Amino acid sequence: MEVPPATFPALFFQQVENQKEKEALRRKEYGIWHSLTWREYGQRVRETAAGMLSLGAEPGDFIGILGDNRPEWLFCHLGAMTIGCVTCGIYPTSAPAGVRYVLNHSETRILFLQDEEQLDKLLEILPETPLKLAVVWDPTGLWGFSHPNIIFFDAFTDQGISYLKAHPRSVEQRLAALQSEDTAMVIYTSGTTGPPKGALISHKNILSVTESFMSVLPADASDEVISYLPLSHVMENLSSVFMGIYAGLTVNFVESLDTLPMNLREVSPTLFGSVPRVWEKFASAMKIRMADSTPLKKILFRLAMAVAQKRFRARIEGRNALPLDLIYWPLYWLVLIHLKRQSGLERIRWALCGAAPAAPELFEFFHGLGIPLIEGYGQTESTGIIAVTRPDNLRLGYVGEPIPGLQVKIAPDGEILVKGPGVFKGYHKEPGLTAETIQDGWLYTGDVGVMKDGFLKILDRKKDILITAGGKNITPSHMENKLKFSPHIQDAVVIGDGRKYLVALILIDEDNVTKYAQDNRIPFTTFADLTQNPDIQKLIEGEIDKVNKTLARVETIKKFALLPRRLYEEDGDVTPTK
C-alpha cells in the first residue's frame, strides 16, 4: 500500500510511476491532436525543474507564468513546485501595468511567457521590474530576436537536460526536502476593490481540499477534462491540475476560447466545470438555435423544456415524477438528445458551475437536457472549494454541503466563516489583511449566507448588500443572475442603496442582440447605435419584465439603462477574471 504523499509534486511523481504510458495531456496543433503520456509528462516537468536549478532558483523563489493554457504551463507550474519554488500565475489578458504590479509585488526573478504578444508587454515594463530572466515558449515571429535577459524554451530545456547530466539527483533532493506546510503557489485575486492580493496556497491546502472534493465527486484515470479557464485562477487549477493529477485523468487543452465549442464536440469530456457566464452562453446558443428552427421543432422544444423543468423540480422536491417521465423520455430522444450531442457534453458524468453565483433557472435548463449540472462554492482563500452539491442530493438555490474536513458556520451578521486544512496561509506581504481575514483559524469569507439542514445558501457579498430608502435589505446578485440568464443580456448591475427603488445597468449580449437586429431589420452601425435603438431597448425591457414577474415587489427593477460601449480590461473597465 502506497504511503500518502506529503506534498503535491510527490503525488504527481507517484502518479507518473503508476500511469506511465497512459495518455496524460492532449493539445491540438495545426488541426491534429497530439498527446503526452504520464512518463513523458514527468520527464518534461523534471527537465523544467532542472532548468530552473541551472538558473540558480532557490526554495521560496517566486516563478512567474504568463500565458494561455498549454502543456508548458503545467511543466513550469509543477517544475517550480518540485524544487520548492512558488508558482505565480499572471492572467494572460493583463495589461502591462497589471503584469508589472504582480512581478514587483511578488519579486519574481524568472518569468515564463507564451509568445511575441506577451513578450511585447514585458519589454514595455522590463526595466521597472526585478526580473532577471524571461523564457519564451513559442518563438514564432521572433526569428533573430536577441536580448540578454530573454531566452527561448527549447534552449532553456537543453540547459536543464545538461544540468541533470551533471547533477542527476538534484531535482529529487529538492523534492525530498519539501514540507507539507511549504507554499506551493500564490494566486493573485482579481483586485476588484483595490490592488490584487497574493493568496499563499500550501501543499497541505492542495492535497486536503483535493482529497475531500474527490470524495464527493469521484473521478478516475478513465475520465477526461478540457482545460480553458485561466490557470492563473484557482478554478482551473482544481480541474486541470489538482483533480487531474489526483485522479490520473487526461487533460485536453483548447486551441483558444473561440474554439471551445468545437473542441468540446471533438473531445466530449466526461467531466466539465465552468463559470456561470459560460453556462449561460451555452444555454442562449441553444435557445437561439431552436428559435431559428422549423415551427414544429420550436413547439417540440418548448414542450420538452417545460416538461423537463417540471420533472426536475418534482424529483428534487421528492414528489412522484413518473407521470412526467412518461412524457419526458419520448421528447428527450426526439428533441433534447440532439442539443446535448451538439454541445459536446454527451458523455458528461457530472458538470460543475462555480466561481460566481448562478440563477436556479440555469440548473433547471441543463438538467432538462440530461446534463447533470451541479453547483459549487469556494474562494481562492479556501483553495477553491468550500461546499459542493452532491449529484444525488440536489437542492435548488443552495450551493451544496461543505466538503469533508471543513467546518462552516454563519456569524451573527450573516457572514460565512470557514475552518479547516484548506484555509490558505495568508496574503503575501499583507500581515494586517491576513489577520483580518483569518481569526482564530476561521476564514472570514466576506460572503453572506444561511445554512439549512446542512446545506449552504449564498445571499451576496457582504459589501454588496443594498439597503433601500425604505429600509429593506436587498441582495442584488439574485436579480443580476436572473437577468444574465437572458440570451440578450451579457451582464447586469443592480443599484439601489439608499434609493426608493432599484435600477439596473445592462450590458447587452452583442452577438445575440446583433442577430435579433438583423432578423428584424433594425438598422445600426455601431454598438452604441444598437443600445440606443428604441426596438432594442424594448427587447431588453421585455427581458426585465419577465424577471420582475419572478421577484418580490421590493426587488423589482423599475428603470434601466443600456451601457453604450463594450467593457475592456485594457481601459480599466473590468479586472482580469475567470
Query: Given CA atoms 322, 326, 327, 329 in this order, what sign does their dihedral have?
Result: positive
Closest by CA to 153, choosing from 120, 117, 113, 126, is: 113
Give the C-alpha separation, 340 to 346, whole Å.
Answer: 6
For the chain, the C-alpha Rg in angstroms (whole number) is 25
> How do residues 538-573 score in pLDDT, each as one tens digit?
888 888 888 888 877 777 888 888 888 876 555 554
| Average of per-residue pLDDT across 271-291 | 86
Among residues 86, 23, 26, the alpha carbon closest in space to that of 52 is found at 86
pLDDT digits (tens, 9 = 90+) for 192-225: 556 889 999 999 999 999 999 999 999 999 999 9
Q: Distances in Å between the alpha carbon of 531 and those of 355, 510, 517, 534?
A: 29, 10, 11, 8
Sign of CA dihedral 429, 432, 437, 442: positive
Backbone φ and ψ of 500, nearest 5°: -75, -25
* pLDDT tens column, 118-151: 999 999 999 999 999 999 999 998 988 889 999 9
Q: Which phi and psi (to 5°) does residue 18 adopt?
A: -75, -40
CB 235 within 8 A of CB 275: yes
Query: pLDDT band for position 99 (50/70/90)?
Result: very high
Cα separation, 221 vs 89, whole angstroms: 27
pLDDT by residue (tens digit) across 346-363?
899 999 988 777 778 888
| Between 372 and 191, the higher pLDDT residue | 372
* pTM across the whole model: 0.84
Residue 1 confidence (pLDDT): 41
